[in-house]
Amino acid sequence: MEGYMSELWDFTHISVTRNNLQELKEIWDQWDDETKQLFYYNYGNLPYLLEVKVDKYLFRALA
């Protein structure tokens, strides 16, 4: 719907300590372009987080 702002940001929390990041990447890779575009349309740039390099320094910065 035009002008709709998703409230997903209020409810979504991705933690690589609780979620298997590799599994999330594999699921994303299985989707076709149409499905990915629908996801982008509904949730914005959230999938770009799958490309963030996660290391101990990132966790230290977030603490």
Q: Is the pLDDT of residue 62 over 80?
A: no
**Cα 17 to chain center, whole Å?**
15
* Helices and strands in the chain: count of H runs, count of E runs: 4, 0
Please count the residues of the chain.
63
Q: How confident is the model at residue 46 (pLDDT cuts 50, 70, 90)?
A: confident
Question: Measuring CA to CA, how many Å separate 32 from each of 5, 7, 26, 42, 43?
Answer: 25, 25, 12, 16, 16
Structure confidence by residue, pLDDT tens digits, 3-41: 776 666 666 666 655 567 788 888 889 999 999 999 889
Q: Alpha-carbon distance 8 to 43, whole Å?
A: 7
Q: Between residues 29 and 56, which one has the greater pLDDT?
A: 29
d(CA 57, CA 31): 31
What pLDDT score does 11 carry?
60
